[in-house]
Amino acid sequence: MQKHKFLNIPFIPYDKNLVSRARELRKETTEAENLFWNKVLKNKKLVDFKFTRQKPLDHFIVDFYCAKLGLIIEIDGEIHNFQKDRDMERDNILKQKFGLKIIRYTNEEILNNVEKVTEDLVTRIQNTTPP
């Protein structure tokens, strides 16, 4: 896999046409995504890794991405109940093509118990090996 020009992390190519849509999505975050970003991921608050939000990867936009860990975090709302097959196909492409790991939480898990989700995430990160 190609490495980033300046950083020692894998470079994942992406569709440049998705950049403006990713910017829009950053402004339209769900309540759960906003809570998770601000309480857990932003500025390495609780996990000591840099995450970006609404990140274009290949021809998809993922909710949160940590390049150093090769880790995607998805927050699934109600719409995901109707597109599980599509999500599974996307996950398989990102896993097989780039070796990325994907963790999914639901809106309800975040909104009802962000502390428990944070503990789960920290445990999973501790057990993750970088790509």
The predicted-structure confidence for 67-120, as pLDDT tens digits, reads as follows: 989 999 999 987 656 678 888 999 999 999 999 999 999 999 999 999 999 999
- The percentage of residues in the chain with a pLDDT greater than 70, rounded to a whole number, is 88
For the chain, the domain total comes to 1
pLDDT at residue 35, as a whole number: 96
Q: Would you say residue 8 lies in a domain?
A: no
Q: Would you say residue 2 lies in a domain?
A: no
pLDDT at residue 85, as a whole number: 83
Q: Would you say residue 74 lies in a domain?
A: yes
Angle at 56 between CA 29 and CA 14, to 5 degrees: 170
CB count in 10 Å sphere of residue 37:
21
Q: Would you say residue 97 lies in a domain?
A: yes
| Pairwise CA distance, residues 65 & 63, whole Å | 7
pLDDT at residue 82, as a whole number: 63
| Pairwise CA distance, residues 58 & 22, whole Å | 13
| Pairwise CA distance, residues 70 & 75, whole Å | 17
Read off the CATH number of the domain in which 56 is found: 3.40.960.10
What range defines the domain where residue 112 resides? Answer: 16-126
Q: Would you say residue 11 lies in a domain?
A: no
